[in-house]
């Protein structure tokens, strides 16, 4: 995800099962403005779109009652993150994010190098 | 952060100002068990401890009403992440996390390679 993200409301919560590293993470941190203004519907649509993109591995997302949220999406490669960033419908959402939905945001692209999980998840 | 994290309650919310990449992120995703059982106090203490560790750059944390949370802490180097992971008091917290506070968790260590921010943050 970049200028969008699934919130508590979208039912996307949970730890994403991801493959052995290396793979990539897009860490999207944002502070929402007040009011929905079409945000929830668009966020849900963006998750749906992202899931259909080549190289999509998973997504984790939480937003607190104060409007601060973190969405981390996982991808197979940087090139596939670029394709998602440039998707036409995603571009529109990014523009609305900048103009309307987010007071502040940060996008960090990172290469996941090591992972560790609770025992119940070890076999995934 | 690893087996711990500041929640909404700790007042640690907000986008962390971080330096130019490269630097490292520890993405800690978790599902809390029910009840506090000493968790809030320990989470707050861990953030305080982490802030005092060499190489600590910042932290972002959210937990939803359903107990699912994401904490991302940022570090200058992998070695400094290792020193934090091995800190004696942090080790105790990790053990309590495994035995009591978390139903499920995942730790991912990633190298931040590129960043992008909203206009108001561009100069940081």
User: Is residue B3 one of the residues assigned to a domain?
Assistant: no
Determine the residue of chain B that is closest to A65 in CA distance. B64
Which one-letter DSSP state was computed for residue B8?
A: G
Residue with tokens 């992440």: B81
User: Is residue A108 one of the residues assigned to a domain?
Assistant: yes
* Per-residue pLDDT reduced to its tens digit, A30-51: 999 999 999 999 999 999 999 9
Range of the domain at B32: 8-67+90-114
**Cβ-defined contact of A70 to B60 (cutoff 8 Å):** yes
User: Is residue A123 one of the residues assigned to a domain?
Assistant: no
Distance of alpha carbon B100 from alpha carbon A73, whole angstroms: 28
Count of structural domains, chain B? 1
**Cβ-defined contact of A25 to B110 (cutoff 8 Å):** yes
**Residue of A59, A49, A55, A57 lying closest to A88 (CA atoms):** A49
Determine the residue of chain B that is closest to A8 in CA distance. B64
* Per-residue pLDDT reduced to its tens digit, B81-100: 999 999 999 999 999 999 99
User: Is residue A31 one of the residues assigned to a domain?
Assistant: yes
**Cβ-defined contact of A62 to B60 (cutoff 8 Å):** no
Q: Which residues pair with A109 in a beta bridge?
A: A26, B114
User: Is residue A120 one of the residues assigned to a domain?
Assistant: no
Q: And the tokens for A64?
A: 């607190």
- Report the residue from B18, B106, B120 with minimal CB separation from A121: B106
CB A107 within 8 A of CB A81: no
Instruction: Give rounded-to-5 percent helix, strand, coil for chain A.
Output: 35, 35, 35
- Residue B12, domain CATH: 3.30.70.100
Residues of A in contact with B11 (CB under 8 A): none
User: Is residue B26 one of the residues assigned to a domain?
Assistant: yes
* Global model pTM greater than 0.90: no
């Amino acid at each position: 995800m970049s200028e969008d993200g699934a919130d508590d409301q979208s039912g996307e919560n949970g730890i994403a099962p991801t493959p052995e590293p290396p793979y990539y993470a897009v860490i999207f941190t944002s502070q929402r403005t007040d009011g929905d203004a079409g945000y929830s519907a668009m966020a849900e649509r963006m998750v749906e779109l992202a899931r259909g993109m080549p190289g999509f591995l998973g997504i984790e997302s939480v937003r607190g009652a104060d409007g601060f949220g973190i969405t981390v999406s996982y991808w197979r490669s940087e090139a596939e993150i670029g394709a998602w960033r440039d998707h036409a419908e995603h571009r529109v959402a990014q523009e609305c994010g900048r103009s309307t939905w987010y007071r502040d945001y940060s996008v960090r692209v990172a290469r996941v190098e090591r992972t560790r999980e609770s025992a119940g998840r070890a076999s995934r």
